[in-house]
């Protein structure tokens, strides 16, 4: 049996992070999202993997190569235009039973094994992995009868405690007959859920299994959820250097070459990447991941955040519940807010629309190469595009596009001063 991983999409809701990175390579607890997908597949003894790639595919190819370093056989299929999940699967064109996993979901290996086992027990054309969520408003809800799928309802009005399509499938090659018949959606895409509905309407057997562990990473704050789960499950070890006077909990990973200076206080679970320089006298709070070659200096506090490779916050900075891209730089005194003044849910703009994140605490999302000036502030839910900047004393209330800079203009007044 082989596996097909769908990793071609642009990831528009994850911008500005995906303006310079393919979504499957965004880091969770120090590793790309796609690493976790591949780990789950290895847990089922699947070794033959097809990666369907498109947007920024060269970075994915460079990261994984032929898969031999991971004990896998990886081949690549290009989806030139992102025309939907059914179109992506059609490009893989398998002649045997195959597993499909979306490249932005985490599913534990045992649940994947159970899905494959259930598929093999029945003469089904398709078996879907499902997951129970409290709010299914942005998902496809799965209706079942005696373990068989009877209906798929997209974005339902009733959202509480629903089984949803989790983006994990086992298919027989006959699925391609129904993909060929699949009409284009309103978004001008071929959706695999529509193909499955055609299967159901034709009287073909479509199974469902409920996954035990599952995380979908479709929006920026989903990265924080996945990061927290991964850090809590990780086996931590400390390979870097820890100076006397630093306080580091046992459930903190410190990679080789990292230096933890005296006075640093790191609560776990947390992750510190290779060659990063932490301290002196800083505070790293739980569920924080810091990438390679990063600098977190004096009087800096970081809470429940992902800070990517090469980013520097050298002094007097607060970063809370935020996602910070690669090679960003924070001027002294920068503050990133993570709580609205009215304590309401943080609102973030996704695809041009204001979206309730459902989170009381959520900071900012900064694209690669962003910079802040001395004593600047970024409000909750605000995004900065790659290579953007805000000047000293500026307060950022709205999203800032890439390659833009905002500065505070002071007005000079002529007036007498002392004895002048």
DSSP secondary structure string, 8-63? ----GGGTTGGGTS-GGGSEETTEEHHHHHHHHHHTTT--EEEEEE-TTHHHHHHH
Range in 54-63, 147-156, 204-213, 290-299 the model is least confident about: 147-156
**What domains are there in the chain, each with its CATH number?**
2-218 (3.90.550.10), 223-406 (2.160.10.10)
**pLDDT at position 420:** 55
Mean of the per-residue pLDDT values for the chain? 94
Give the separation between CA 68 and CA 298, rounded to whole angstroms: 42
Give the separation between CA 215 and CA 192, rounded to whole angstroms: 20
What's the pTM?
0.93
For 181, which DSSP code?
A: H
Q: What is the mean pLDDT of residues 210-216?
A: 93
Q: Could you tell me which of 198, 311, 127 has the C-alpha nearest to residue 322?
A: 311
3-class DSSP state of 198:
helix
Give the separation between CA 30 and CA 222, rounded to whole angstroms: 15
415 falls in which pLDDT band (50, 70, 90)? Answer: confident
**pLDDT at position 3:** 96
Catalytic center residues? 315
3-class DSSP state of 242:
strand
| Cross-strand partners of 214 | 107
Q: What is the mean pLDDT of residues 283-297?
A: 98
Q: Could you tell me which of 311, 310, 356, 354 has the C-alpha nearest to residue 336?
A: 311
411 falls in which pLDDT band (50, 70, 90)? Answer: confident
Residue 198 confidence (pLDDT) above 90:
yes
Residue 305 confidence (pLDDT) above 60:
yes
Q: Starting from the edge strand earliest in sequence, which strands make up the sheet with 252-254, in order?
A: 252-254, 270-272, 288-290, 306-307, 323-324, 365-366, 383-384
Q: What is the mean pLDDT of residues 151-163?
A: 74
Q: What percent of the chain has pLDDT over 70?
A: 98
Q: Are 38 and 112 in contact (CB under 8 A)?
A: no
Q: What is the mean pLDDT of residues 117-139?
A: 87
């Amino acid at each position: 049996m082989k596996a097909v991983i769908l990793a071609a999409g642009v990831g528009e809701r994850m911008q500005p992070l995906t303006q310079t990175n393919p979504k499957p390579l965004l880091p969770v607890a120090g590793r790309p999202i796609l690493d976790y997908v591949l780990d789950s597949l290895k847990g089922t003894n699947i070794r033959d993997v097809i990666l369907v790639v498109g947007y920024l595919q060269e970075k994915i190819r460079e990261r994984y190569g032929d898969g031999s370093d991971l004990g896998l056989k990886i081949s690549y299929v290009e989806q030139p235009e992102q025309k939907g999940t059914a179109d992506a699967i059609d490009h893989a064109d398998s002649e045997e039973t195959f597993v499909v996993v979306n490249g932005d979901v985490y599913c534990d290996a045992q649940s994947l094994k159970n899905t494959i086992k259930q598929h093999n027990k029945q003469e089904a054309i398709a078996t879907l992995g499902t997951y129970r969520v409290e709010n299914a408003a942005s998902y496809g809800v799965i209706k079942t009868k005696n373990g068989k799928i009877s209906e798929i309802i997209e974005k339902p009005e009733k959202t509480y405690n629903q089984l949803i399509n989790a983006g994990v499938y086992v298919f027989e090659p006959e699925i391609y007959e129904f993909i060929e018949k699949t009409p284009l959606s309103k978004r001008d895409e071929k959706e695999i859920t529509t193909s499955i509905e055609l299967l159901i309407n034709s009287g073909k057997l479509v199974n469902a299994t409920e996954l035990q562990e599952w995380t979908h990473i479709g929006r920026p704050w989903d990265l924080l959820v996945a990061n927290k789960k991964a850090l809590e499950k990780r086996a931590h070890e400390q390979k870097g250097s820890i100076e006397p006077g630093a306080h580091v909990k046992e459930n903190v990973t410190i990679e080789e070459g990292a230096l933890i200076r005296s006075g640093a206080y790191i609560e776990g679970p947390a992750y510190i990447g290779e060659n990063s320089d932490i301290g002196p006298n800083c505070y790293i709070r739980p569920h924080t991941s810091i990438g390679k070659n990063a600098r977190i200096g004096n009087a800096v506090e970081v809470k429940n955040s992902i800070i990517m490779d090469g980013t520097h916050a050298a002094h007097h900075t607060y970063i809370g519940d935020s996602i910070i891209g690669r090679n960003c730089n924070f001027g002294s005194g920068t503050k990133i807010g993570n709580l609205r003044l009215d304590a309401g849910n943080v609102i973030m703009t996704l695809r041009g629309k204001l979206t309730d994140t459902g989170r009381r605490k959520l900071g900012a999302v900064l694209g690669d190469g962003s910079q802040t000036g001395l004593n600047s502030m970024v409000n909750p839910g605000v995004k900065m595009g790659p290579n953007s900047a805000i000047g000293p004393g500026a307060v950022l209330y709205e999203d800032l596009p890439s390659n833009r800079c905002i500065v505070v203009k002071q007005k000079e007044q002529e007036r007498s001063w002392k004895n002048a």
